[in-house]
Chains A and B, each alone.
Chain A
Amino acid sequence: MQLPPAAPSLAADPLLQQRPLQHVVVLGANGTMGYGSGALFTQAVPKVTFLARTREKAEQGLAGAIRQVRSPTVADRVRCGSYEELPEALASADLVFEAVTEQLELKREFFERIDAHRRADSIVATVTSGLSIDALAEGRSESFQQHFLGLHFFNPPNVIVGTELVPSRFTRPEVVSFVERFSDKRLGRRMVLTNDRPGFAGNRIGFKLLNEVAQLAEEHGVALMERLVGPYTGRALTPLATIDLVGWDIHRAIVDNIHALTQDEAHDTLRLPGYMAKLMEGGTLGRKSGGGFTRREGKERWVLEPKTGRYLSPSEIKLPRLDFIAEVAALHREGRYREALAVFADAPGDEAALARRVIAGYLSYALHRVGEVTEELSGIDRIMGFGFNWAPPGVLIDWLGPKVAAGMIERAGLPVPPALTAAAASATPPRFASERHDNPGRYFVAA
């Protein structure tokens, strides 16, 4: 297949020239992350091998990839096989991309086999969203460890460009810089260099908010929480709808992992609500089980009552007047984001205070994670924006103003991050969001 030559700007990039990737091997190519990532690699790499337990499963993955990106041309660059062909495939692999089931022991078994057959200069990447990269690298050869890292694409990779890059403590710096540049320039990713902490950056901060909203839904109801932390607060999808989409089991795996392995100032917000654990015993998993926080009943959408496990019909749900949300949304509609956030910050009533508590918790938690999950706030901003499609903390702080943001956190009874305290006291506060030209207005949906 004839391709336009790489752009001169990229052809001249010494870092990219250093390792021309010719062959990528994807393990677990039948899973959504496997084939989604595999499809992405076909955009920049001439040969991509899809491997799964059987050739048929790998072929199902290829079909999934074609469906996902809506182009049969993906097949031109893909060949499918079973894990029996792993040694042969590894002989020419420049990059091995592991996307098998999210189980430490299973992944380790694969890495042992990869270690035995890989070329010494090949890169090995795992798409894990939660397992420790250091732990995955344990017991492997020195060469493997130096060439191994986490490359966490978000699902589906053809739509969501935010990507976490997680080196282990052994990874060679030049391997990290190469994968970062390649993913940015050739795969169109927005890269975030993340520390090997539970949940990395995005899931740590994102699922903290999701879980907190699920906790609050027990007392305040699903419908009210979805409204209060709705699109007008800077997100395309409401929090509990997001949990339904990713699946309750995945949500539990992520928050349990973070809760077990971290200790921070908001530890309790990461405890899975008891009602969710109970309902999961009965098979509730979100969309994939036919219902979660909401369920379709004919043409209606019924809403879970966490206390009883019943689903309420729309006529049974009574929401209080929430005029401030309409007012904020009307300002977003005209692109007056700062004014909208000022209305949000000043809105009277318990409901507005509850909504502010969640947003304040997001800002406080994100800023306290700087230095732990990423070196700078810009990394957290990038993954929340391009991974979750949420207004990045830095954007919210800039548009609220540091003083207002600090006050909001304080009134919620949460710890105010020192950087914010300093900025609030400054006559010329610094800008918190560092990415320019990223159209931050996009995050604020007028609803």
Chain B
Amino acid sequence: MRQPEIYILGGYQTDFARNWGKEKKHITALMRESVLGALEVTRLDAKDVEVAHVGNFAAELYCRQGHLGAFFLEADPAFEGLATSRHEAACASGSIALLAASAELEAGRYSLACVVGVEQMKTVSSVEGGDYLGTAAWYEREAKGVEFPFPKLFGRLGDEYERRYGLKDEHLARISAINFANAKLNPNAQTRTWTMNERHALCRTEDNAPVGGRLRISDCSQVTDGAVAVFLATREAAERYAQRRGLSVERLPRLLGWGHHTAYLRFDDKVRSSEGSPYVLPTVRATITDALRRAGVRDVSELSAIETHDCFTTSEYMAIDHFGLTAPGESWKAIEDGSIELGGRCPINPSGGLIGAGHPVGATGVRQLLDAYKQIAGQAGDYQVEGARRVATLNIGGSGTTSVSFVVG
């Protein structure tokens, strides 16, 4: 049976530089601004939306608030009665919400879905927030009593590359510098006004303090408040949408393929299970190849760009060879030859990624999809990849545990 087509009608991202705690706002305000913003840019009517999904990691911890689906009704009274739910898979929460929405559309239950990814993280100190993030690992065994557990886990991803293939800090610094440089082109990026460059990333002083093993501040993604809303539609709803706006439905970006797998929660178990594989995280590799296969994409050479999960420079380093831009263990080649820069063979994170644009945990997967959409629709402004035709995303929860990839085109 031919897979029903899923269309992306557009969406809205809040400015990730905002600190909603300083504004003294509740998480409902974040959701509300993203949903109303998305309705405005797409000129869709709230009453046409049939189902809504929220991706969020830990509002119970950060904001002492659960049951986020119900907050759709606070955005517009026309949402009263809407079918809503909330999804969690750590930093992949946003993509899980997208998968759930697209599955329902494919099943023919609904024709128009709204997906919101949202996280408000600046409600607590960085140490306390780091502890909350530890629940995305096996908390008791890997995070309890550990200050900033995640940089340490992803530092160990670097160590594993070092052990198997060798790894140089200068390549990680370059990844950091490219993401920060791209972020300067993105008006919604958290770090767009920051002073960051390759020399800073190479600093081995307190200006760039170590946070976990080989990783330093410049290797890390940001603590971010943000929300992103997008609309997904069936072919039928997309045709209606296009017709009313005088657009061609064939030119609307679509979700061409998806991949989704889960590995052991503990980092040690993942590494043990991948012994003998050329890939350090084989389930991530399977997620990517599934997405490419379902999209009918032969390999990475048919991608115009990638929005990947650079929660740390080591995770982007991993993504480079797992996407097949280089042979396993040779990610450094694509860094050295400029392949992943804007203007390169396959730019990675034109938006600035999680390091440059920011990482509101539950919103990231949806932000990646919206940026992929913008690339295909030619709406990415200064970070536009010229003539982008297919863009892949990779969103990872935990230390490489739950991974989701989409191909948009």
Are the C-beta atoms of B23 and A446 separated by less than 8 Å? Answer: yes
A320 proximal to B (CB < 8 A): no
- Known A7-B182, A188-B192; judge A439-B15 contact (CB<8 A): yes
Given A188-B184, A333-B29, are A158 and B342 neighbors across the interface (CB < 8 Å)?
no
With an 8 A cutoff between CB atoms, is A118 at the interface?
A: no
Q: Which of B149-205 contact A (CB under 8 A)?
A: 177-178, 181-182, 184-185, 187-188, 192-200, 203, 205
Q: Does B74 contact A (CB under 8 A)?
A: yes
Asked if A388 is at the interface of the complex by the 8 Å CB criterion, the answer is: no
Judging by beta carbons under 8 Å apart, are B30 and A335 in contact? yes
B198 touches A3 (CB 8 A): yes
**Which listed residue (A1, A73, A161, A439) contacts B203, Cβ 8 A?**
A73
Q: How far is the CA of A236 from the CA of B23 in the complex (A)?
A: 8
Q: Is the CB of B187 within 8 A of A437?
A: yes
Interchain CB contact under 8 A, A335 and B33: yes
- By secondary structure, the A interface counts as loop
| Residues from 1 to 21 in A contacting B, C-beta threshold 8 Å | 1-5, 7-11
Q: Which of B43-51, B230-238, B287-295, B379-387 contacts A (4 or more CB under 8 A)?
A: B379-387
A76 to B343, CA, bound (A): 26
Among A9, A329, A446, the most chain B Cβ lie within 10 Å of the Cβ of: A9
How long is the Cα–Cα vector from A332 to B184 in the complex, in angstroms? 30
Give the residues in chain A near B32, CB-CB below 8 Å. 334-336
Stretch at the interface among A64-72, A262-270, A294-302: A64-72
- Given the complex, which residues of A lie within 8 Å of B343, measured CB to CB? 5, 7-8, 11
Asked if B199 and A1 sit within 8 Å, CB to CB, the answer is: yes
* A184 CB, min distance to chain B CBs, angstroms: 10
The contact of A446 among B25, B187, B188, B199, by CB within 8 Å, is: B25
Q: How far is the CA of A159 from the CA of B192 in the complex (A)?
A: 10
Query: Hey, which chain B residues are within 8 Å of A332, CB to CB?
Result: 23-25, 29
Judge whether A344 is part of the interface by a CB distance below 8 angstroms.
no
Is residue A43 contacting chain B, with contact meaning CB distance below 8 A? Answer: yes
Residues in B with CB closer than 8 Å to A5 are 338, 341-343
- The number of A-B residue pairs with CB atoms under 8 Å apart is 117
Are B15 and A334 neighbours in the complex by a CB distance under 8 Å?
no
Interface positions, chain A 331-372, Cβ under 8 Å from B, are 332-336
| A10 and chain B: residue at smallest CB distance | B382
A439 touches B178 (CB 8 A): no
**Contact between B181 and A70, CB atoms less than 8 A apart:** no
Complex CA distance for A403 and B198, rounded to whole angstroms: 53
Q: Is B130 an interface residue (CB 8 A)?
A: no
Number of interface residues of B (CB under 8 A): 46
Given B30, B187, B341, which contacts A4 in the complex, CB threshold below 8 Å?
B341
Give A335 to B23 CA distance when docked, in angstroms: 10
A349 to B74, CA, bound (A): 30
**CA of A364 to CA of B23, assembled, Å:** 26
A161 with B200, Cβ < 8 A, contacts A7-B382, A8-B343, A442-B18 known: no
Are the C-beta atoms of A333 and B199 separated by less than 8 Å? Answer: no
Cβ–Cβ contact A71 & B15, under 8 A: no
A444 within 8 A of B: yes
Chain B residues within an 8 Å CB radius of A11:
343
Which residues from A are CB-within-8-Å of B188?
437
Contact B207 A71 (CB under 8 A): yes
CB distance from A326 to the nearest CB of B (A): 12
* A245 and B96 alpha carbons, distance in the complex (Å): 47
Given contacts A334-B32, A335-B33, A442-B18, contact A3 B197 (CB under 8 A): yes
Q: What separation, in Å, do the CA atoms of A236 and B20 have in the docked complex?
A: 12
Is A185 in the interface zone, CB < 8 Å from B? yes
In order of increasing CB-CB distance, the 4 nearest A-B pairs are A335-B29, A69-B195, A446-B24, A335-B32
- Where the two chains meet, the residues of B that have a C-beta atom closer than 8 Å to any C-beta of A are 12, 14-15, 18, 22-26, 28-30, 32-33, 37, 41, 74, 177-178, 181-182, 184-185, 187-188, 192-200, 203, 205, 207, 338, 341-343, 381-384, 386
Inter-chain pairs besides A158-B195, A334-B29, 5 sampled, C-beta below 8 Å: A3-B177, A5-B342, A334-B28, A335-B29, A442-B23
